Amino acid sequence: MAQINLLKPRQVATLGAGFHSDGSNLYLRVSSPSSRQWVFRYSAGGRVRQLGLGSTVERTLADARAIAQKMREAVRDGTDPAALLNARDPDKMTFRAYAEELIETKRKEFRSQKWGKQWSSTLEAFVYPGIGNKRANDITLNDVEAILRPIWSTKTETASRVRSRVEAILDFAYVAEGIEKRNPAAFKGNLEHRGFGKPRKISPVKNHAAAHFSEIPAIMAELRERSSTTSLCLRFTILTWTRSSEARAASWEEIGSDATLWTIPPRRMKAGREHQVPLCVEAREILETMDKRRHKDSDAIFPGLHGGLISDVAINKVLHGLESVKRLDAAATERLRVNLCPKDRDDVFAHGATVHGFRATARSWGAAKTSFPPFVLELALAHVNKDRVESAYQRDAVLEKRRQLMDAWGRYCSNSNVVQLKREMRGLR
């Protein structure tokens, strides 16, 4: 007989991150100390399904067990347990309750668990203290202003995200309750007329620091002297013009049978569209190396500890540990220091290169040193909708041009003459 009531009340508030069973289909999902959700897990139609039951703030352990019992009965009777959740108690549906329900609903849309945690953390820090326990229909423009105004000019990017999330949650609540009114968190035609400047004008988007393409052969030569999985992942990222998250989460099922093409599915792409990456010789050699190191419990090409994904922190540690990049960082830091008054020059640091910046580096190289059309360079960065391009050009012709581009970039990255010349020049200084 399955065990039930495994959790103790005090554990609900103290258990660390993970998926903790209370027995008989009820689980506690802990994403962070402030994000604790009840989940009902069951099988239907040959598939395992999960239903969010709300947070530990919204439901006590006893409440969660009670509704889980009703859901078990529904499953046993062949009815849909989700119907029990749809019958919301209006008195309990606060802004926070709707927020947690929306986050659970959107969890599958998030490209990584990190996104869900970011939603929860920003709401905990900036929103819940002010309106978390309010009914959606009672939240006013003044409430939203009180949340945003203290951070709009000082933490503009964060404030913009907070506003967007509050708007989405209120929209969700309005649809659920049949409320027809202007969303007080809407920017256009609303907050923009209340003294809230456009975020991009207050805090212009900062580009990621990018090394000049002339530095790439030296950086790649240094990376080739390292054999760690993280170093190989960084090389693969640079060679393929992809984002760090895309390369770190690459799986063997995404690699074509002849290992010359990497197809990234829409769910892992920023634009939500499938992206194909022709692989140059060096990228394929990296795959051959990693194939010999395959983790028995993971499909990841670049598995981290215990088969999980390598972190972006680990990738950055490798990058900024390279002597060639240390020099770029030192030069960037000095450029920053000279523009500051003496008392502010201590503890200042600037990056001369970033992992994401290598995409801009590659794009600049393509524009300056090759004759490939701009749309081919943009396709390589997944900045252009390939379906639109391929409606004007033959699909195979476009892919072949991209393959030629990647092969040319691979040859440039392995240009030993450039590396040797740089070393000799440094020896003369």
For 257-297, write each residue's pLDDT tens digit. 888 999 999 888 888 888 999 999 999 999 999 999 888 87
CATH number at residue 153: 1.10.150.130
pTM: 0.55
Confidence of residue 395 (pLDDT cuts 50, 70, 90): low
User: Does residue 61 sit in the same domain as residue 141?
Assistant: no
User: 386: how many CB neighbours lie within 10 A of its CB?
Assistant: 19
- The verdict on residue 97 lying in a domain is no
Confidence check: pLDDT of 392 > 60: no
CATH code for the domain of 47: 3.30.160.390
Cβ atoms of 147 and 130 within 8 Å: the answer is yes
Q: How open is the CA angle 152-158-163, to the nearest 5 degrees?
A: 70
Domain count, the chain: 3
Tokens encoding 242: 């992809």
Would you say residue 103 lies in a domain? Answer: no
Q: Residue 398 is part of a domain; what is its CATH number?
A: 1.10.443.10
Boundary (domain end) residue, out of 202, 222, 238? 202
- Domain of residue 364: give its range: 213-427
Burial state string for 275-303 with b = 16 or more CB within 10 A and e = fewer than 16? bbbbbbebbbbbbeebeeeebeebebbbb
Report the pLDDT value the prediction gives residue 123, as an integer from 0 to 100.
93
Instruction: Report yes or no on 95 lying in a domain.
Output: no
Same domain, 221 and 348: yes
Q: Which of 174-188, 195-209, 415-429 has the lowest mean pLDDT?
A: 415-429
Three-state secondary structure call for residue 39? strand
- pLDDT value at residue 428: 34
Question: Is 90 exceeded by the pLDDT of residue 415?
Answer: no
Residue 263 in any domain: the answer is yes
Type of residue numbered 71: M
CB 350 within 8 A of CB 336: yes
Domain boundary among 142, 170, 202: 202
**pLDDT of residue 141 exceeding 90:** yes
Q: What is the mean pLDDT of residues 364-369?
A: 93
Distance CA 319, CA 321 (A): 5
User: Quick one: pLDDT band at residue 145, thresholds 50, 70, 90?
Assistant: very high
pLDDT on residue 235: 97
Q: What is the mean pLDDT of residues 363-371?
A: 92
Q: 124: buried, middle or exposed (CB in 10 Å: 19+, 13-18, 0-12)?
A: middle
Tell me what percent of the residues of the chain surpass a pLDDT of 90.
37
Judgement on whether residues 75 and 126 belong to the same structural domain of the protein: no
- Mean residue pLDDT of the chain comes to 83
- For the chain, the maximum distance between any two Cα atoms, rounded to a whole number of angstroms, is 83
The residue with greater pLDDT, 177 or 246, is 246
The residue out of 183, 202, 221 marking a domain boundary is 202
Residue 247 belongs to some domain of the structure: yes
Co-location of 251 and 179 in the same domain: no
Q: In terms of DSSP bridges, do strands 47-55 and 35-44 run parallel, antiparallel, or are they unpaired?
A: antiparallel
Do 32 and 141 fall into the same domain? no
